[in-house]
Structure 1
């Protein structure tokens, strides 16, 4: 299929018309992806295989925008050529210079507790502000202060405060260690992966993997309780007679016996992360609330324990059954046969979490659960970091820090 070609007015370079490039430019002017893609598609069809200068293309796009949108959209689109630099550079405190990335900016906002829907317009607003001012280079602290002001204006003081706390933590050098406990099928691994992406955590460790290593090192005859499932570990305990015992007590005793063995390996992993000062997510059924409680006095890292749960039996059964598509089906069938034990173990973990004041996160929807865990992390950080804006962002030579940022007022909806 023949393609239209664009001739750059300045250097006469001839390049193919690319719908994706025009779509991106229109999104920068404030259109949604669907709106921008539709305009770019119309232009592609209109051009056919013609050759057109870059200036003429901009004129035709602007005319099409005038027919569909108000003048502010047209002005933003045309202003990009006049005012926007090819790249806005961001300079960190140690002198490292990188291009401003809206994707990374949004990710940082999401890490501070915003949803994607809340973060996207804030990033767009900050970016448009930089374009209007003709900024070509900006210090990280200045950019972050502008973001703080945009949040305060758009979403209110609480959202701005959470961002301030996350920024102060991110520049503190302290590692973030997140401990995710929960029974079989509650979604620990899936949530850990999503959380690692959102919070930019590069290390995830499963207690199941630690258990496998220990099983290779210690034979079953020496530690039989290690060589079975957590919900069935009681069967390997040296009880004189289990027939008279309470099933819930048996399951709890067996689980705790196995979890205490894994606590040694888990603590070693956490100590290594503290020593290297790297963020880590440790997830697995063996993360018992009492283990997390024993780490409260650590002062060289931020430790955030939580228990993930599926609070409806029908939903947990459904999830365990679904594991058969990702794990051996015989394992899923075995879990379903032992469902009562799994449910009792979850009840024990939730009771222990309540006793130890460890947050419980219900996992019905992955996106909502991930967002809730981020809020748990921010709540924990809020108890540690209390800096004021000028303390956190600093006084920047050659830059006055405005108290407000131009833009639409905050909606009545709470952040």
Structure 2
């Protein structure tokens, strides 16, 4: 049989087709040696006599044989280890060209609340679609619309999930700033969830209300504002020394009043941070115990999307464990303080949750990181859905490959 040359156009080289090399690649995809060698034989017979074949054409032939003899999972695994996913170039709305990234596409799908397994399944379907269609360059709108259609057609997801994708794409297209406010008691996981969301959403501005409080402490003395110089759950104690303050009836009443006094002071700085982000049309995540349910109410500079959630840990034992785990990385004295004041921390959570319920602020139970992130994203999409009425035509434009 005549020599067959495989041409690599990107490298500008041609090398002989070698069954041994293909066999090793197929073994990396999960085939046994016997299976891999048999497929390599089939490929060689399919290719026929003397000719020159491009590397991409070879991969397509191997992919088809694998899919017929085994299944699409094996065929996909063959493409991934060799790093030869079809070189699809994607043009964005500003005309910039970049290689299609399956990883970025998967992360986009997770933003609309899909699990890792679900997003991998959709991303795999899209990758196979691009390969079947032999596409080398498409628009980002084409990618988005095919994804929309795939979501609609999948029984496990369907029109409701496809609509979430449509709403999210419309929001991204709008350029509106997002203000995400995350509140909750000490130790409920606000910072962890905020950091993860900032990474997923690509938001570079993130502000902790605890840090704002620290800055304010340098400017406002403890003599004048004693409630500012304590922990949020302990801010009621200075009120006991205030002769003009009405006597506190219970510890619960004290925790609530002390918190309100401190949160009102910190809100001045918090609202200033929010207002600056809006003036500069930058998205922002602000998190902290002082991010009470009505913090961002009344702020209407421009057309922001403002979403407020309160995180909760509903089991005392679990919250204690988190405080203990957090404290092991801090000083021993600080660890003892968290646990010594656990009842006040728990009471503060009860107050924050009742305020969230009163103001119709979504409460997200933070039992595990991934589920909480998905729930916050669904809450964001619910808010967007109440303000946006997108259609496929308005979001994706003409059904063209560019």
Settle same-fold status: TM greater than 0.5: yes
Quick one: structure 1 residues 150 and 219, their matched pair in 2 at CA, closer, same or farther if it must change by over 3 Å? same
- Tell me if the contact between 2:67 and 2:75 (Cα under 8 Å) persists in the aligned partners: no
- Tell me if the contact between 1:273 and 1:279 (Cα under 8 Å) persists in the aligned partners: yes
Residue of structure 1 in register with 2:144 after alignment: 144
After superposition, residues 192-231 of structure 1 pair within 5 angstroms as: 192-231=194-233
Quick one: structure 1 residues 134 and 85, their matched pair in 2 at CA, closer, same or farther if it must change by over 3 Å? farther
Cα offset, 1:292, TM superposition:
3.5
- Tell me if the contact between 1:22 and 1:40 (Cα under 8 Å) persists in the aligned partners: no
Structure 1 residues 23-77: Cα deviation after superposition (integer angstroms, max 9, x where no partner):
9x87xxxxxxxx9565599999xxxxxxxxx99xx89x969x9699616567668
After superposition, residues 121-132 of structure 1 pair within 5 angstroms as: 121-132=121-132
Quick one: structure 1 residues 231 and 318, their matched pair in 2 at CA, closer, same or farther if it must change by over 3 Å? same
Residue of structure 1 in register with 2:379 after alignment: 376
Cα offset, 1:262, TM superposition:
0.8
* Greater mean deviation of Cα atoms: 166-175 or 233-242: 233-242
The alignment status of 1:394 with 2:400, answered yes or no, reads: no
- Tell me if the contact between 2:138 and 2:401 (Cα under 8 Å) persists in the aligned partners: no
The alignment status of 1:172 with 2:171, answered yes or no, reads: no
**TM-score for the superposition, normalised by structure 1:** 0.78
Residue of structure 2 in register with 1:110 after alignment: 110
**TM-score for the superposition, normalised by structure 2:** 0.81
Cα offset, 1:290, TM superposition:
2.5
- 3-state SS in 2 of match to 1:289: coil
Between the aligned partners of 2:97 and 2:147, the Cα distance in structure 1 is 18
Quick one: structure 1 residues 248 and 369, their matched pair in 2 at CA, closer, same or farther if it must change by over 3 Å? same
The alignment status of 1:307 with 2:310, answered yes or no, reads: yes
Between the aligned partners of 1:179 and 1:385, the Cα distance in structure 2 is 20
- Tell me if the contact between 1:293 and 1:356 (Cα under 8 Å) persists in the aligned partners: no
Residue of structure 1 in register with 2:87 after alignment: 87
Quick one: structure 1 residues 319 and 130, their matched pair in 2 at CA, closer, same or farther if it must change by over 3 Å? same
The alignment status of 1:359 with 2:328, answered yes or no, reads: no
Structure 1 residues 318-345: Cα deviation after superposition (integer angstroms, max 9, x where no partner):
1101112332232121010011111111
Quick one: structure 1 residues 75 and 192, their matched pair in 2 at CA, closer, same or farther if it must change by over 3 Å? closer
Between the aligned partners of 1:13 and 1:210, the Cα distance in structure 2 is 63
Runs (5+) with no aligned partner, structure 1: 1-6, 27-34, 45-53, 400-415
- 3-state SS in 2 of match to 1:212: helix
Within the candidate set 286, 291, 313, 1:287 is matched to 291
Structure 1 residues 91-118: Cα deviation after superposition (integer angstroms, max 9, x where no partner):
1111111111001101111111211111
RMSD: 3.5
Residue of structure 2 in register with 1:258 after alignment: 262
Residue of structure 1 in register with 2:249 after alignment: 245
Cα offset, 1:358, TM superposition:
0.3
Residue of structure 2 in register with 1:405 after alignment: none
Between the aligned partners of 1:378 and 1:41, the Cα distance in structure 2 is 49
- Tell me if the contact between 2:79 and 2:85 (Cα under 8 Å) persists in the aligned partners: no
Quick one: structure 1 residues 71 and 188, their matched pair in 2 at CA, closer, same or farther if it must change by over 3 Å? closer
The alignment status of 1:334 with 2:337, answered yes or no, reads: yes
The alignment status of 1:347 with 2:344, answered yes or no, reads: no
